[in-house]
Amino acid sequence: MACTTIEISGETNARLNDISLKYGITKVEAIRRALNLLNVVAEEKARNHDLAIVEKDTLKPVARLVDIL
């Protein structure tokens, strides 16, 4: 497994800590999941698709994810 060092702001680190604690995962796992999501965005953008956030019960779109890449 490869090892990579990153530098992040204090604000980003605090948010990463919050997410890790909330979901009971390590900071590394949170970063892995974020990168997996970024990969989905890249794949869908290549297919000329948009991604949206939808309400759980109705599937009504509440937000579009744009300009991530």
pLDDT at 1: 85
Please determine, for residue 66, whether its predicted confidence score (pLDDT) is greater than 90. no
pLDDT at 67: 79
pTM of the model as a whole: 0.80
Query: DSSP character for 61?
Result: E
Give the residue from 42, 32, 58 showing the smallest Cα distance to 23: 32
Please determine, for residue 15, whether its predicted confidence score (pLDDT) is greater than 90. yes
Give the residue from 20, 16, 68 showing the smallest Cα distance to 45: 68
